[in-house]
Amino acid sequence: MDRIIQQTDYDALSCKLAAIAKGYLPAPQFSDPNEIESYKLIHSAYFNTLKTHSRRIYGKINKSISSSFPVMNIGTYLRTVALDSQIETFLQKNDKVQIINLGCGSDLRMFQLLNKYDNLTKYLDLDFKDSIYFKNDILWNTELFRDTLHLERSNETDGELAHSDRYKLISCDLKDTTNTMTILQSLTDSQIPTLVITECLLCYMPQLESQTLINSIISFYRVGEWLSYDPIGGDQPNDRFGLIMQTNLRESRNLEMPTLMTFNSKESYASRWNIISNDIKTNIDIKDMWEIFNSDIEPTEKQRLKKLQFLDEFEELKVMQTHYVLLNAQWEHAL
């Protein structure tokens, strides 16, 4: 099952590269003009280097890019800009911060963020061993990546591979909370404001393991913020989105989302971060992606999106985006 879950990273990478190829990303509304070419260059270099490591994966992703549909490209656009916007807000409001990207896969945010924010003292990428070693090979074998991240010689002690003073690439099984927390405690500072990112990670974890991970991280860091992007099954009597998604995943990939129908609404999904404690103050905000499309995307940006590809599946886009959520949970321990 773990190996099947790891394969979903290639889907996410395909979607990101397709959205870039079609002009959806980077989005002018959320991007500094000086960063746009750098953004494209980083992703292009990663994709081109991937070809030398696995022609099979390269071919699969290349095929997906050429056949991408607008409904998927807009979904990837929303997912990316919504997360990026909240990440930047966190970085701009704190003097000294650290970021932990759990289930990072092929995500490349660390390049822009480490380059742009001197107050970002540490950026950790964590994922399954196979995913991390694959990413490590690409980073180490690309001069642009080595130079940009200031990578040092690899050191496989405790699963740590590519690394610099500020960037760590680490292999671990996130279902093993004890080992995960041992790693985080050794590499990060519990007193520094900490941002945790999970993109389509918790939906693949069993309920007990995911809740234990959430509770452990919130208990360890004095001040923190958690950004989590996931699908929800839907809680209305006539809503079959989650059931159909589960059936399709089982039949096509033998893949399960254990909590898709357990946390099937915004309220139930957000309840996982409601830590009942006199010592911890929490504030939780959650929106579905359709709400974000209507509230956060400027009219001029919506017009730009319309011109990129003809979209005749507008209702399908709405249904899909109302079943994906972005949660922002903030917490602070009493002094």
pLDDT at res. 157 = 54
Is residue 173 marked as binding?
yes
Beta bridge partners of 227: 197, 328
Residue the block writes with tokens 């985080």: 184
How is residue 276 written in tokens? Answer: 């009942």
- Mean pLDDT value across residues 301-322: 94
Minimal CA–CA distance to 308: which of 14, 22, 19?
Answer: 22
Distance CA 144, CA 138 (A): 11
Distance CA 125, CA 47 (A): 19
Beta bridge partners of 167: 123
Is residue 23 marked as binding?
no
Q: Note whether 296 and 266 are within 8 A (CB).
A: no
Is residue 291 marked as binding?
no
In this predicted structure, the answer to whether residue 260 has a pLDDT above a threshold of 60 is yes
Half-sphere exposure of 169 (CA within 13 A, CB side): 30
Instruction: Render pLDDT for 145-203 as a digit per residue (tens, 0 to 9).
Output: 999 999 986 555 545 687 899 999 999 999 999 999 999 999 999 999 999 999 999 99
Give whole-number Cα distances, 267 to 77, 227, 235, in Å. Answer: 24, 16, 10
Minimal CA–CA distance to 292: which of 70, 68, 18, 77?
Answer: 77
How remote is the C-alpha of 173 from its chain's centroid? 17
CATH of 69-333, one of 3.40.50.150, 3.30.930.10, 3.40.225.10, 3.40.50.300: 3.40.50.150
Domain ranges of the chain: 69-333
Identify the helix (H) or strand (E) that includes residue 254: none
Report yes or no on whether pTM surpasses 0.85.
yes
Grade residue 6 by pLDDT with cuts at 50, 70 and 90. Answer: confident
pLDDT at res. 66 = 87
- Mean pLDDT value across residues 265-285: 94
Which of 37-46, 89-98, 154-163, 215-224 bottoms out in mean pLDDT, i.e. has the lowest?
Answer: 154-163
**Among the ranges 121-125, 140-144, 152-156, which has the highest mean pLDDT value?**
121-125
Is residue 79 marked as binding?
yes
pLDDT at res. 34 = 82
DSSP 52-84: HH-HHHHHHHHHHHHT--HHHHHHHHHHHHHHH
In this predicted structure, the answer to whether residue 313 has a pLDDT above a threshold of 90 is no
Instruction: Render pLDDT for 225-252 as a digit per residue (tens, 0 to 9).
Output: 999 999 999 999 899 999 999 999 999 9
Q: Note whether 67 and 310 are within 8 A (CB).
A: no
